[in-house]
Amino acid sequence: MKKLLLGMTLLAMAPAAALAADEGAYLLGDIGIGRYENAGPFSDPATLGLGAGYRFNRNFAAELGLRLFLETTASVGGGTSELRAHSLYPAAVGMIPLTPDFTVFGKLGFSNNHAEGSNPPGRSFSTTENDIYFGFGVQYQVSQKVSLRGQYENFGKFDNSPSPLRAQAVSLGVAVSIP
């Protein structure tokens, strides 16, 4: 009788254990290529992304991320101009599992964008702007704790001029569950 009771208890707890596996914190890291709009002669920069998130269930999560747009240079008027930027963003994440290992996701939030650099002859500039942030991508679960991600992100405006600097990024990375 005790074995039967123990077996029924374990069986009843199995769905709860499966749901618990869909919850928890995770860390993000990726590399990619950015794209500037209205940035004049500057080329598209390499990017690094870092972040953390919490998955509430198999369909919803929240993330906080930082995207670094690495410095890019351009020759302007016989001198060299520099541009670097970063964006900090919180986002709600909606996920649709297509298979047990393959998920598509979408993100929506807001971004705090900052760009700075220099123009010849030795003048520097700095600008900060908040805007809507959105992204989408795919995730493939390699193991119980590690997933690979590919994603597109749009960070919006970095200044409030009539032709504002805007930035986007495409990246490949990893998500690691925290025990």
The answer as to whether 74 is a domain residue is yes
| Tens digits of residue pLDDT in 43-79 | 899 999 999 999 999 999 999 999 999 999 888 777 7
The answer as to whether 8 is a domain residue is no
Predicted TM-score (pTM) above 0.95: no
Choose among 127, 29, 50: nearest CA to 83: 127
Show the tokens assigned to 124. 């520097």
Place of tokens 């998130």: 53
- Residue 20: the pLDDT is 39
CB–CB of 70/55 below 8 Å? no
Report whether pLDDT(9) > 50. no
Query: Which burial class, exposed, middle or buried, applies to 171 when counting CB atoms under 10 A from its CB (0-12, 13-18, 19+)?
Result: buried
String of DSSP letters for 82-110: EEEEEEEEEEEEEEEESSSSEEEEEEEEE
Residue 113 is part of a domain; what is its CATH number? 2.40.160.20
How far is residue 31 from each of residues 45, 46, 174, measured CA to CA in Å?
A: 11, 8, 10
The answer as to whether 70 is a domain residue is yes
The answer as to whether 127 is a domain residue is yes
Domain extent at residue 52:
24-177
String of DSSP letters for 2-34: HHHHHHHHHHHHHHHHHHHHT-EEEEEEEEEEE
CB–CB of 89/109 below 8 Å? yes
The answer as to whether 59 is a domain residue is yes
b/e code 61-70 from CB counts within 10 Å (16+ = b): bebebebbbe
Report whether pLDDT(7) > 50. no
- φ and ψ of 145, to 5 deg: -110, -15
HSE-up (13 A, CA, CB side) for residue 114: 8
- What's the number of domains the chain is made of? 1
More confident residue, 177 or 22: 177
The answer as to whether 2 is a domain residue is no
What's the CA angle centered on 131, arms 139 and 43, to 5 degrees? 75
The answer as to whether 16 is a domain residue is no
The answer as to whether 17 is a domain residue is no
| Tens digits of residue pLDDT in 120-141 | 777 888 999 999 999 999 999 9
